[in-house]
Amino acid sequence: MHFSAIERVPGDPILGLIEAYAKDPSPVKFDLGVGVYKDAMGLTPIPQSVKQAEQRLLERQTSKSYVGGHGDAAFGRLVSELVLGADSSVLQHQRAGATQTPGGTGALRLCADFIKQCLPGRGIWLSDPTWPIHETIFATAGLKVSHYPYVGADNRLNVAAMLEVLEQVPEGDIVLLHACCHNPTGFDLSHEDWRQVLRIVQRRHLLPLIDFAYQGFGDGLEQDAWAVRLFAAELPELLITSSCSKNFGLYRERTGALLVCAQDAQKLQDVRSQLAFIARNLWSTPPDHGAAIVAQILGDPALKQLWVDEVEGMRLRIAQLRSGLLEALEPYGLRERFAHIGVQRGMFSYTGLSPEQVKQLRDQHSVYMVGTGRANVAGIDATRLDALARAIAAVC
Ligand code: LMR
């Protein structure tokens, strides 16, 4: 038989939780697994701005023919402005361009193949820990994957250790950084930390790849782009992967972009020709629907304002859930121990719970989170904070 030597691999640890949670008959279960936002009803809503944009598309779209290799030009321009700022000098000098991809994951995969094919011999450095798919996507593309420390066993951000290792990274290697809302830990760098990283990148001629999957979920749409814009302003070359999954609620529409900043407009076109070639061999042309929605929203001032307000609403709700959980933990004497939940940003919290405690939470209290102790704060039901705190207290 042709397939007889093929062995089964374990299922994805994050996506597997969706299935396990759905199967649990408990009426009081908590879904803190996969990184999706949930509203007060426990639903992952379609934003009103998205609904309205879809309605317009339904009425006005005249063709479902292919978009080009880089996707829809309007989407690319508008996403570039969202990420780099409407007044970005990099954009004014035509030094940056976006390639539409199937989600942020598609952007990462395109980037991985680009590095492998166009920058041979370069390794990539990931934070320890990082999103597990970062590990596999670059390894699968054939890159040497190494790590810099980020959060230690004490569940604290260790910037000194991070900088020390970055100082040793071989010249020319790629360093993947999380723009905001670090996945899985929720610990973000301060502005001063970013400046220190930038100085090392410049001194050692490293190439940063900034993964920007949660714009708007940390401190705000503009604030979250601070480090990306600093790097774009100070460096001649930069790679950025941008996702519309979370902030537009377009998870299943697979909408994202790979942005490249190059030294000048000519070199940008050289790089983009390679990206189009690689993308053609990966997915030919990107899916359109989500990107068409995003272009409708960002291209219309009224619709954009509605969306900005909706993103801010999601951000504030997550921030409230963080403080609400800390208050709920107080009567159990656990507020201090989990104080980091209030410092972390975005959807995720590295809780510091051990794999054994995570298992107990799941088996005995129907609380689902990733085995590493990562909880999706955005999945918490605000009306049952005490039940969650009681479950956590029971395993601590
Ligand atoms: C997560 O980390 O939960 C999200 O980014 C969803 C995913 O694809 O893993």
- Domain harbouring 193, CATH code: 3.40.640.10
Q: How confident is the model over 274-328, as pLDDT tens digits?
A: 999 999 999 999 999 999 999 999 999 999 999 999 999 999 999 999 999 999 9
Q: At what angle do helices 73-84 and 289-298 cross, to 10 degrees?
A: 60
Q: Indicate the average pLDDT of the chain.
A: 97
Ligand 1 center from residue 312 Cα (angstroms)? 21
Cβ–ligand 1 contact at 14 (below 6 Å): yes
Same domain, 269 and 347: no
Looking at 278, 299, 320, the residue that finishes a domain is: 299
Ligand 1 center from residue 331 Cα (angstroms)? 32
Same domain, 98 and 235: yes
Same domain, 235 and 367: no
Q: Average pLDDT of 83-97?
A: 98
- Does the residue 191 lie in any domain? yes
- Report the pLDDT value the prediction gives residue 70, as an integer from 0 to 100: 98
Same domain, 206 and 285: yes
- Does the residue 99 lie in any domain? yes
Q: What is the distance between the alpha carbons of residues 179 and 241, in angstroms, rounded to a whole number?
A: 10
| Confidence label for 100 from pLDDT (cuts 50, 70 and 90) | very high
Same domain, 158 and 30: no
Looking at 265, 299, 333, the residue that finishes a domain is: 299
Same domain, 73 and 207: yes
- Report the pLDDT value the prediction gives residue 245, as an integer from 0 to 100: 98
Task: Reply yes or no on whether the pLDDT at 232 is more than 90.
Answer: yes
Distance of CA 107 to the CA centre of its chain: 11
Q: Average pLDDT of 230-238?
A: 98
Looking at 246, 269, 299, the residue that finishes a domain is: 299
Cβ–ligand 1 contact at 216 (below 6 Å): no
| Confidence label for 351 from pLDDT (cuts 50, 70 and 90) | very high
- Does the residue 379 lie in any domain? yes
Of 108, 131, 254, best ligand 1 pocket probe by most atoms within 8 Å of the beta carbon: 131
Question: What are the backbone dihedrals phi and psi of residue 123, each rounded to the nearest 5 degrees, phi first?
Answer: -95, 170
- Does the residue 98 lie in any domain? yes
Q: What is the distance between the alpha carbons of residues 315 and 309, in angstroms, rounded to a whole number?
A: 10
Same domain, 187 and 275: yes
> Total domain count for the chain?
2
Q: How confident is the model over 23-65, as pLDDT tens digits?
A: 999 999 999 999 999 998 889 999 999 999 999 999 999 999 9
Same domain, 261 and 140: yes
- Report the pLDDT value the prediction gives residue 291, as an integer from 0 to 100: 98
Q: What is the distance between the alpha carbons of residues 120 and 136, in angstroms, rounded to a whole number?
A: 18
Q: What percent of the chain has pLDDT over 70?
A: 100
**CATH number of the domain that 328 lies in?**
3.90.1150.10
Task: Reply yes or no on whether the pLDDT at 380 is more than 90.
Answer: yes
Same domain, 19 and 168: no
Same domain, 265 and 326: no
Domain that holds residue 145: 66-299
| Confidence label for 13 from pLDDT (cuts 50, 70 and 90) | confident
- Does the residue 160 lie in any domain? yes
Same domain, 343 and 272: no
Q: Average pLDDT of 167-173?
A: 98
- Does the residue 355 lie in any domain? yes
Ligand 1 center from residue 14 Cα (angstroms)? 7
- Does the residue 304 lie in any domain? no
Same domain, 199 and 119: yes
- Does the residue 7 lie in any domain? no
Q: Report residue 323 as tokens.
A: 């403080």
